[in-house]
Amino acid sequence: MGELQTETITLRVSDGTEMNGFLARPADGAKRPGMLVFQEAFGVNGHIRDVCKRIAAEGFVTLAPELFHRSGPGMEIPYTDLPSAMMQVRALTEAGMEADVRAAHQALVADPQVEPGRYAAVGFCMGGRVAYLADAVVPLVAAISFYGGGIAPSQMGPGLLGRVKNLSGPILFFWGGRDKHIGAEQRRAVADALTEVGKTHIEVTFSDADHAFFCDARPSYHPESAKEAWALSLAFLRERIGSR
């Protein structure tokens, strides 16, 4: 892939708020699939912008909306400051996330470089849950959830399995076998819920990986698992939506 173009855009959300988003695209102007990229609990930071650019280099128009725009617009929280990150996460609501998803999806729909009907989503940690939610509230051809906490019921909340019947596209889940935040019982609950209603899904658990194994800016980064997850993600997307 050749040169990329990047910019920050402002989106209007249905609740009257405004939300910035990081946009990356191939500079050739050719029609491309659209990809929503959902952040970790630390904001649309350097890692998420890098993911956007990596996916754009594979032939997508990518958009990462700033989901903390109501409580902490523009925040990029250090990975060492988990309490501040959790404060922002607790400020999110399901209704607010749904509105943000719809606004970001509409931005791709309105983008003249994005080919109609070819929309997908990927998310990491908190964003893995949002990618699952996006698959249930906007028409996606495919979705990818990296270690998405909060999909299954847990001590943190009731989860989002009530949305399972509304999933539109096949979804690929990546889990870390050493992830103490998302245990085997939660992973089983997600798989069982999708199986029960006949939704196409793929589960991949990396036995040696911890939570956030894909992020090369965090101590839990596991290069082998990250490399394999990236290759599997690209294969899944090319099968479901196409690229380049």
Domain that holds residue 226: 4-240
CATH number of domain containing 55:
3.40.50.1820
| Three-class secondary structure of residue 141 per DSSP | coil
Instruction: Walk along the chain (244 residues) and give the pLDDT tens digit of each residue.
Output: 579 999 999 999 999 999 999 999 999 999 999 999 999 999 999 999 999 999 999 999 999 999 999 999 999 999 999 999 999 999 999 999 999 999 999 999 999 999 999 999 999 999 999 999 999 999 999 999 999 999 999 887 899 999 999 999 999 999 999 999 999 999 999 999 999 999 999 999 999 999 999 999 999 999 999 999 999 999 999 999 875 5
Contact 185, 157 (CB under 8 A): no
Domain count across the chain: 1
Contact 181, 149 (CB under 8 A): yes
In sign, the C-alpha dihedral spanning 210, 213, 218, 219 is positive
Smallest CA-to-CA distance from 76 within 45, 41, 40, 37 is with 45
Query: What is d(CA 38, CA 23) in angstroms, rounded to the nearest whole number?
Result: 12
Tell me the DSSP string of 28-50.
Answer: T---EEEEEEE-BTTBS-HHHHH
Query: What is d(CA 233, CA 56) in angstroms, rounded to the nearest whole number?
Result: 14
Query: What is d(CA 207, CA 152) in angstroms, rounded to the nearest whole number?
Result: 20
Smallest CA-to-CA distance from 151 within 176, 169, 125, 170 is with 125
In sign, the C-alpha dihedral spanning 147, 149, 154, 156 is positive
